[in-house]
Amino acid sequence: MVDWKDKVILVTGGTGSFGRKFIEIMLNEFHPAKLIVYSRDEQKQHEMRQMGFQHENLRYFIGDIRDLERLRRAFQGVDFVVHAAALKQVPACEYNPMEAVKTNILGSSNVIDAALDANVKRVIALSTDKAVNPINLYGATKLAAEKLFVQSNAYAGGRETRYACVRYGNVVGSRGSVVPVFLRQRKTGKITITDERMTRFWISLEQGVRFVIRCLEEMYGGEVFVPKIPSMKVIDLARAVAPEAEIEIIGIRPGEKLHEVLISEDEARTVIELDDMYVVQPAAALWFGREWESKGEPIDDDFRYVSNTNSDWLNVDDIQKFIAPFENPTER
């Protein structure tokens, strides 16, 4: 177990939805020696301060993950890094492909290099279900970032620096997610969805943060951690947000999947199942990260963790409980 009170933690993309919730929970419950918000937008950092994110152990660093020298300076004296910075909007990445590559792939490479140079102990990166069998550029860049984080453990040599990833599904109410879109559409009396068969994995922001904290505590290096989370039908989400609204089917968009995959059958050979998560172990060539074989059970070689064949489902009532914090009752 980690003694957080003497740890210095840096979060890239620290002003985003995940970063704010991570900082809130760390300050309120774990009390680290120092917590650093690393992001490129001074306005969002100012807004965070205005929201009450002011603490004697909290620091705000302006910087872009594309800037290796700034990362090297920011990482000095840091014990743990949570890498949450990314370009994540699928249409934006499709229209600005090189920008997605520069941030999600080259920026991740910079985080890896800077952490190694600064002797950071543990680095964990946030990935996505869209990185599995990707069909859009966002997913492809996140897959490349995953591979970089797993295989870069080979660079550690005799150093303590270790890299791992967490991979989970859609985060309820996060910036750019479908919930705020549906809440806006509700005012018009019409909700648009792309396909009535569509399913998605779902996790709350707090669940995601607590999962990342747990993985930081338990990682050996080289793993991809996947939580066991429920699925939901997008059409049920629309009914939960606006039960009386008309639902219009507009057709699936380029780069969009009907169902999301968190573990593919090609990964199954190295996956260990625990009570509440799966661990995708690294290739046997790495010197660590396979300690999970003694902590859980292997899965069948043909196993796939897919949103439409999941055993855990949310119904309309369950979804309404998830989205309650984002509701404004006066809008109904």
> Distance between CA atoms of 290 and 222, rounded to whole angstroms?
8
Mean pLDDT of 289-307: 92
Domain-wise residue ranges, the chain:
4-168+202-228+261-300
CATH number for the domain whose boundaries are 4-168+202-228+261-300:
3.40.50.720
Given a cut of 90, whether residue 162 has pLDDT beyond it is yes
Over the stretch 259-289, which tens digit does the pLDDT of each residue have?
999 999 999 999 999 999 999 998 776 777 7
Active-site positions read 130
Structure token digits, residue 221: 């290096």
The pLDDT of residue 329 is above 60? no
Mean pLDDT of 167-193: 86
- Identify the H or E element spanning 186: helix 178-186
Please report, as a single letter, which amino acid is at residue 187.
K
Mapped onto helix, strand or coil, the DSSP state of residue 288 is coil
Residue among 182, 280, 142, 168 nearest 231 (CA): 168
Contact 75, 115 (CB under 8 A): yes
Residue 288: the pLDDT is 77
- 30-44, 60-74, 155-169: range with lowest mean pLDDT: 155-169
Average pLDDT over residues 221-234: 96
Q: Identify the band that residue 127 occupies on the pLDDT scale cut at 50, 70 and 90.
A: very high
Q: Mind giving me the DSSP string for 124-169?
A: EEEEEGGGSS--SHHHHHHHHHHHHHHHGGGG-TTS--EEEEEEE-
The yes-or-no verdict on residue 301 having pLDDT over 60 is: yes
CA distance 167 to 186: 31
CA distance 126 to 241: 28
Over residues 88-106, the mean pLDDT reads: 94
- What is this structure's pTM? 0.94
Tokens representing residue 24 in the block: 């809130």
Mean pLDDT, rounded, for 303-322: 94
Confidence bin at 212 (pLDDT 50/70/90): very high
Q: Compute how many other C-beta atoms are within 10 angstroms of the C-beta atom of residue 301.
A: 10
The closest of 176, 173, 86, 211 to 138, measured between CA atoms, is 86
Categorize the per-residue pLDDT at 176 as very low, low, confident or very high, splitting at 50, 70 and 90. Answer: low
Q: What is the percentage of the chain residues whose pLDDT exceeds 90?
A: 82
Beta bridge partners of 233: 199
Query: 3-class SS at 220?
Result: coil
Name the average pLDDT for the chain.
Answer: 93
Q: What is the pLDDT of residue 170?
A: 86
